[in-house]
C-alpha cells in the first residue's frame, strides 16, 4: 500500500488481518425477564468497539451463542480448528469473544492443541452491553492490539486480554465473580500491560507446546475435592459409574483426607488414572507428607501431580491425554 507524504509516495505497511470468533458470553448478553442471555453477534460487538479497526482489518465469524458456563469440549474444538484454519488462510491473528466463567479453560485448551501455531487472544466482559459502563468494547480493542503486537505475533500462543492486561493461558484464572480486574496470573503476574500508547511486556511470551490435536474428548473426568472430613463416597460413586479419570483437588501441596487417600489407591489399582491438584490459587503440588492421604503416599499409589495447573485445567489436560495418548499420565508430574 502506498500513500503521499509531502508530495512523494512512500510505502505504508498494510494493517494486519484479524479474525474475531464470537461465542456468546456476557459481552454479548442483554438482560430480560428470564435472566441475561447472549444475543448480540460478533459484528454488533465490533460495532461497539470501532476503534479496533484502527489496528487491523477485521472479519467476524460466529462459532456459538452460549453462556460460557455451558461451554463444552465440542465448542472448544471448533474454536481451535477455526482459529488454525484462519491462520493457515493468511490471517495474522485471532480474537475470541467468550464468557468469563470458563474463558481460562477454553484458552488453555487452545494453548494445548495449537501451541505456537497462531496468536490467539480471548476476551469478554464482566458488564453487559446494556449495563452502565460496559467493559466489553475496551477489552475487545485491547485484544486486537495485543494479538497484533510484535512479541505475541512472533511467538504465537493463547492469551487472555482483560482490563488492560495480557495473561498467558496456562497461568490465567478468574479470581473475582464481578470485578473488572477479575483475571490474574498468581504464579507469575501478567505478561503485559496495555497503555494508551503501547503494550508494555514484563517478560517474553512463552507459548505452550502443542501437545494434542483439537478433538472433543469422549471421556468422563470427574473432579473430587478434599477438605475437612471429606469422605471417599464421591470416588466410589465415580468408579461405579465407569469414570475414565479423576482429578482430586487436594489441600496445600496436594494432600487429601485418609479416606480419600485410600480410595485413590484403590482407583489406581483398578486402572483409573488419578491426578492431584491443589485448591490453593498459587504454588505447585509436591509430594512431601506421609500418612494415608499425604502427597508422598499418593505418589507411591501412582498419582500424577498437576504442578501449577489449576484443578479445572488439570481436568482438561487429563481429558485430552485420555482421548489421544496411550499413556495419559505421561502428561503429568509423577516424580
User: Whole-angstrom Cα distance, residue 185 to residue 137?
Assistant: 22
User: Whole-angstrom Cα distance, residue 295 to residue 122?
Assistant: 35
Q: What's the topology of domain 2-201?
A: Rossmann fold (3.40.50)
Q: What is the mean pLDDT of residues 4-22?
A: 69
- What residues does each domain of the chain span? 2-201, 221-331
* CATH number assigned to the domain covering 221-331: 3.40.50.40
User: Would you say residue 12 has pLDDT above 90?
Assistant: no
pLDDT of residue 209: 82
Inter-CA distances, 100 with 27, 70, 71, 181, 259, Å: 9, 11, 11, 11, 35
Same topology, domains 2-201 and 221-331? Answer is: yes
pLDDT of residue 118: 87
* 278 beta partners: 250
Residues 6+ away with beta carbon under 8 Å from 150: none
pLDDT of residue 334: 57
Mean confidence (pLDDT) of the chain: 94
The widest CA-to-CA distance across the chain, in whole angstroms, is: 81
User: Whole-angstrom Cα distance, residue 93 to residue 86?
Assistant: 8
Dump pLDDT digits (tens) for 154-211.
999 999 999 999 999 999 999 999 999 999 999 999 999 999 999 999 999 998 887 8
Q: What is the mean pLDDT of residues 288-302?
A: 97
Inter-CA distances, 131 with 26, 29, 164, 228, Å: 11, 10, 20, 40
pLDDT of residue 83: 97
Sign, CA torsion 74/78/81/83:
negative
User: Would you say residue 302 has pLDDT above 80?
Assistant: yes
Dump pLDDT digits (tens) for 101-152.
999 999 999 999 999 988 999 999 999 999 999 999 999 999 999 999 999 9
Dump pLDDT digits (tens) for 280-291.
999 999 999 999
User: Would you say residue 212 has pLDDT above 60?
Assistant: yes
Amino acid at each position: 500500500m502506498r500513500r503521499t507524504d509531502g508530495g512523494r509516495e512512500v510505502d505504508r505497511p498494510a494493517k494486519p488481518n484479524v479474525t474475531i470468533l464470537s461465542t456468546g458470553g456476557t459481552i454479548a448478553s442483554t438482560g430480560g425477564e428470564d435472566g441475561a442471555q447472549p444475543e448480540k453477534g460478533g459484528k454488533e460487538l465490533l460495532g461497539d468497539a470501532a476503534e479496533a479497526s484502527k489496528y487491523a482489518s477485521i472479519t467476524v465469524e460466529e462459532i456459538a451463542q452460549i453462556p460460557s458456563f455451558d461451554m463444552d469440549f465440542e465448542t472448544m474444538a471448533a474454536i481451535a480448528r477455526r482459529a488454525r484454519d484462519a491462520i493457515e488462510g493468511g490471517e495474522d491473528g485471532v480474537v475470541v469473544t467468550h464468557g468469563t466463567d470458563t474463558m481460562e479453560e477454553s484458552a488453555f485448551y487452545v494453548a494445548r492443541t495449537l501451541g505456537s501455531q497462531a496468536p490467539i487472544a480471548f476476551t469478554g466482559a464482566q458488564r453487559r452491553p446494556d449495563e452502565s459502563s460496559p467493559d466489553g468494547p475496551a477489552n475487545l480493542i485491547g485484544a486486537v492490539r495485543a494479538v497484533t503486537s510484535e512479541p505475541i505475533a512472533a511467538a504465537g500462543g493463547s492469551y487472555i486480554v482483560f482490563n488492560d492486561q495480557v495473561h498467558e493461558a496456562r497461568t490465567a484464572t478468574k479470581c473475582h465473580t464481578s470485578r473488572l480486574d477479575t483475571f490474574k496470573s498468581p504464579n507469575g503476574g501478567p505478561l503485559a500491560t496495555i497503555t494508551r500508547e503501547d503494550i508494555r511486556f514484563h517478560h517474553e511470551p512463552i507459548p505452550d507446546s502443542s501437545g494434542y490435536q483439537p478433538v472433543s474428548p469422549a471421556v468422563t473426568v470427574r473432579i473430587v475435592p478434599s477438605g475437612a472430613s471429606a469422605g471417599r463416597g464421591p470416588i466410589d460413586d465415580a468408579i461405579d459409574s465407569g469414570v475414565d479419570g479423576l482429578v482430586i483437588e487436594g489441600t496445600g501441596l496436594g494432600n487429601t483426607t485418609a479416606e480419600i487417600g485410600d480410595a485413590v489407591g484403590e482407583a489406581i489399582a483398578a486402572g483409573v488414572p488419578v491426578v492431584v491438584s491443589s485448591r490453593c490459587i498459587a504454588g505447585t503440588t509436591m509430594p512431601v507428607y506421609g500418612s494415608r492421604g499425604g502427597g508422598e503416599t499418593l505418589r507411591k499409589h501412582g498419582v500424577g501431580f498437576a504442578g501449577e495447573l489449576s484443578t479445572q485445567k488439570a481436568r482438561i489436560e487429563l481429558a485430552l491425554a485420555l482421548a489421544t495418548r496411550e499413556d495419559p499420565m505421561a502428561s503429568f508430574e509423577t516424580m
